[in-house]
Amino acid sequence: MEEIGKQIGYEAEICGKRLFVCSDAALFSPRGLDAGTAAMLAHIEIAPGMKILDLGCGTGVVGTYAAMCGAEAWLADVDPAAVETAKKTLAANGVSGTVCLSDGFQAIDAAGFDLILSNPPYHTDFAVAKHFIEKGFNRLKLGGRLVMVVKRELWYKNKLEAIFGGVRVAHEAGYAILAAERRQLQYAAKKKKSK
């Protein structure tokens, strides 16, 4: 980490754009751009005017990049340190966004997202990822996509297929980048009632 004008962080280049990422030693990947996040961003296109949610934003690198591309950026994290750091990252790059302290979608009142992007935390019970996928479906506009980068592909692939009805998978740098598009108003597979 380096100090640039009183901000602690690092510089990163994402798809031709240079940005300064503010950091905090307690947050994920505090010393440089995570390879999974870089792989995910290399597999998406962000156009001006898109509405994008960086879910589990950490330092705010994804949301800041989206804002630099001209998107309406929303950033959310359950960690107060992440929320403050994400605000600093946006400001350090001269862009703005809506930053929410939120456990998943609980404090986010917006919907109609074009893209929800997440490098989800890895939990053995997948509870966080399950919430992100199920609630994310309802926050996307029709034609909107949920994109996740993960190491453990099978569970995510199966869950996304069950909710969205399909998923595209790309592989890069040891990660799986999964993209699922909302094509209908209801989940693809309804939960079976137990007898």
Q: What is the pLDDT of residues 71-117, one digit of tens each?
A: 999 999 999 999 999 999 999 999 999 999 999 999 999 999 999 99
Per cent of the chain over pLDDT 70 is: 91
Residue 176: both structure tokens together: 């799986």
- The pLDDT of residue 7 is above 80: no
Bridge-partner residues for 77, per DSSP? Answer: 101
Report which DSSP code applies to 192: P
Quick check: 120 pLDDT over 60? Answer: yes
Mean pLDDT of 128-147: 96
Q: The dihedral of CA 122, 129, 92, 65: what is its sign?
A: positive
Task: Tell me what pLDDT residue 89 has.
Answer: 96
pLDDT of residue 123: 60
Q: What whole-number distance in Å separates Cα of residue 87 and Cα of residue 171?
A: 31
- The secondary structure element, H or E, covering residue 38 is helix 35-42
Query: Once rounded to an integer, what is the mean pLDDT over residues 140-155?
Result: 96
- In this prediction, residues 121-140 reach a mean pLDDT of 88
Q: Residue 84 half-sphere exposure, CB side, CA atoms within 13 Å?
A: 8
Distance CA 92, CA 59 (A): 12
pTM: 0.91
- Residue 163, exposed/middle/buried by CB under 10 A (0-12, 13-18, 19+)? buried
Q: What is the pLDDT, as a whole number, of residue 87?
A: 98
Q: Write the single-letter amino acid at 192.
A: K
